[in-house]
Amino acid sequence: MSSSFVYKSLFLVPILAVVAMQLSFGQSVLSLNQTNEYLHHLCLNRQGTYESGSKYARDLNNLIQMISISILGDVVVFSGDNSIYVKLQCRGDSSTSTCRSCLDTAFSGVSRRCLNNKGRIIWYDNCVLTILTFHTYGEIDYQNNFYISTQRM
């Protein structure tokens, strides 16, 4: 073996070790960020309620299925005199499957916490699900918000 080959090999081993450690660290950080912890919810009583099994309830379930299939961000359906506006916002580093899972968890969670409320918002670590009777596209909602401390980060 030539001395230049030994020198190159000895030089590459520490570099490869550092790269391997960085990749391992990167994976552990990504896995830490993929929790789906419940954070907060709001039941918007002023938007009214609906009956289980009603056309509104069926339309809402259909909307959630449409979002789950395509992972659209903003979907609207008109249900007679009632409009349903559903908006799903997933974290930018969430995969499609993580976003879909968060939607399922959020819809189930908000349905339990705000039984039959037409207006409701729920925050999870990976997504925010908003269901309203009016459209807010392009508007900032200053009334229905939630603040979280970043102290633990």
- Residue extents of the structural domains in the chain: 1-33, 37-132
Tell me: pLDDT of 30 over 60: no
Tokens of 101: 């899972």
CATH class of 37-132: alpha beta
Segment 119-146 shows an average pLDDT of 85
Confidence (pTM): 0.70
pLDDT at site 34:
61
3-state class (DSSP) for residue 118: strand
pLDDT at site 2:
56
pLDDT at site 139:
76
pLDDT band at 106 (very low <50, low <70, confident <90, very high): very high
What is the Cα gyration radius of the chain? 23
pLDDT at site 16:
47
Neighbours of 43 (CB within 10 A): 17
Tokens of 118: 């037409």
Sheet holding 82-90, edge to edge: 38-49, 117-124, 127-132, 82-90, 74-79
- The DSSP secondary structure of 2-43, one letter per residue, reads -HHHHHHHHHHHHHHHHHHHHHHHHHHHHHHHT---EEEEEE
Looking at this protein, which amino acid is placed at residue 90? C
Tokens of 123: 């925050």
User: Using one digit for the tens of pLDDT, what is the confidence trace for 31-79?
Assistant: 445 678 999 999 999 999 999 999 999 988 888 888 777 766 656 665 5
pLDDT band at 18 (very low <50, low <70, confident <90, very high): low
